[in-house]
Structures are given as C-alpha cells and as structure tokens.
A = this chain, B = another copy of it.
Amino acid sequence: MARVEGTRSLAGPGGSPTLDEVARLAGVSRATASRAINGGNRVSSQAQTAVDDAVRALGYTPNPAARSLVTRRTDSVGLVVPEPDERVFSDPFFARTLRGVTRVLAERDLQLVLLLTRPGEEEARMLRYLRNRHIDGALVVSHHRSDSLADHLAALDLPCAFVGRPWTSADKVAYVDTDNLAGGRQGASALIERGCRRIATIAGPDDMSAGVDRLEGWRSAMREAGLATDAVVHGDFTERGGEIAATTLLERHPDVDGIVAASDLMAAGALRVLTASGRSVPGDVALVGYDDLGVAERTVPQLTTIRNPISEMAEQATRLLLQQIDGDSSVRAMRVIYPPTLVRRDSA
C-alpha cells in the first residue's frame, strides 16, 4: 500500500492515480469501479457515489492507452489532409470545416489527430498508420484527383467519411458534398435572367470535383439558354488565380457582360481586374462568386454568390463517421448532398 517513491506533485504516490487506487478508496473492487466509471450499468447507487467521490478526490482519469488496449478503440479520429499546402490551411473553407468537425467531436469527447501528407513516402506512412488502427476512423478533406486515398480506405474497411466527393471509389465510401452541378447552373442562370448574353466562367482546377462539377453546371445552363460556352478559363481557386484568369478572359473575350467564378476568392481577383480595366460591376460586367465564406461580403461591391453550408457539411460528415464507428454499417457508402443557394448581393 504505502509505496514510497519520489512523490509527484498531485495524486499521491508515483504519478497519476490508477483505477486500483480509486477502487481501494471507494471500498469496492476494480471491476465495480470500472463499471461505475463507464456509464454505471449494474452498479448500486451506493457504489456509484463512492466511486464518483473517489474519482473526484484523486483527480482520476482513465489511462487511455490501457483502456484502448482492451477496448480496441482509441477515441480519436484522424483528419486527413492530402497535400497540406499552406493554402489549404489559410483557406476559409478549411477553417469552417475544422469548426464543424470539432464541434461534433467535442460532444463525444473524441480527439482529433491531424494527418497531413505531402505526396510520396509520406502517403505510405499515413496509410500504414491508418491500417494499424491507431485511430477509430478517418475524416478526409478530399481535394485532388491524384490521391487514391478513397480506394485505400475503402479496401481497409476503416470507418471513414469524405468532405467533398472523392475522385475514385465514390460509390464505396461515405461522403458529404454540395450539388456543385446545380450551383454552377444557378450561377449561370442568375446572369442569364439578368439579361447577360456573353457570359464567361472562371472555372476551378480540373483535378478537383468541385471545379469540374461547377463548370459542367455552368455549361448545361448556358446550353439550355442557347448561349455560347466557349469563354472558359481555369483558375486555382485563389485570388491571384482569379486575377490572372480574368486578365486572360478580357483579352480573349473583351465583350463579356457576365462572369461566373468558381470561388469567391477568384471572383474577388476578377473584380479587381475588371475595375482596373475601367469596367463597372455590375454595370458593365455582372459577377457571381461561389462559396460565401466571408470574402464575398468584404469586396466592393459585395459579391452575389452561391452559398455552401460548409460547417454543416463537415458536421454531417463527422456524424456519418461516428455512426460507422458505432457499428452502423448502413451508412458506409452513404452520401449526403446539400443544395447550394444563391445569395444576391451587389455584383449581379
């Protein structure tokens, strides 16, 4: 009992208190103490309070390693970010996602492990990490076409959920996305209804599903209206990319009277170029952005844009993941698609 060995600050002899000490103090067995701590099934209220008191007195917290050794759960999930470019992190999209994820995770006292992978060996390392169940599940912020993550995860039968439709194995894993096709269409339609006739688009990168789908939506709306679909330039979703794309666009098609950009940042860049070229927005050229993550309200004029409920999407993805972790296999390949909504401001 009276182990004497270099008393640490708090918590009696030798480090943090163990279940054993709690049990002893509460006057029950380790088994009962364990039960009391984990939800208290089959525990008399008397024992329960005794244990509760002891826990409090000792400042006890279960040793997670010991626990997960036997339960085979780690109570942590990984957030996989392929290509952790600085851009990814400073992107408001990612920030919102993180917010949604942590909100849900906090409810259940789960931890978030950040798994960043640069291409190459790093990916192998992470796959090994995932394969050996160091985490209960993985949340993937899907980005580029190149990563075959979805394939691997599907093969692993590790619970996982994607934010944004994965490029491959989209039918085998759970994911949450917005209807980017409809969004692209809405952007174009808004301009068409407004009376624009020479409408261009600054599309996203063509190795990201969001980029491709939005472009396709724009195309279909344009075709339906009998308008030309040749004024297409690609950007990389950044403000700078928007500037470059807009410059190219104005060179090639100086007669544009409307532009649909696949992200607000690109729209903001385009806006700057348009203004600099002496065109008024929306007077000479009407402009529609995409995302509505804050940027859209800070431009002059404020951007008309398509809103994505990013935070909700991330929450939903996390819920989907938790359900899988809890053994509900019915959601393994579920997809949840949110509708985008047009937000009318001043640029169109």
Contacts and interface: CB of A to CB of B under 8 A. Distances in A.
A69 B61 contact: no
Contacts of A76: 113
Interface of A is mostly: helix
Given A61-B131, A63-B132, A102 B122 contact: no
> What is the count of identical protomers in the complex?
2
A155 B9 contact: yes
A120 to B, nearest CB: 12
Nearest to A61: B132
A128 B61 contact: yes
A16, A65, A115, most chain B CB atoms within 10 A = A65
A112 interface: yes
Interface in A47-67: 59, 61, 63-66
A68 interface: yes
A45 interface: no
A89 B93 CA distance: 10
Contacts of A227: none
Contacts of A331: none
B298 A131 contact: no
Nearest to A243: B298
A239 interface: yes
For the complex of A and B, the 3 pairs showing the least CB-CB separation, nearest first, are A89-B95, A90-B95, A61-B132
Contact of A102 (B92, B116, B131, B132): B116
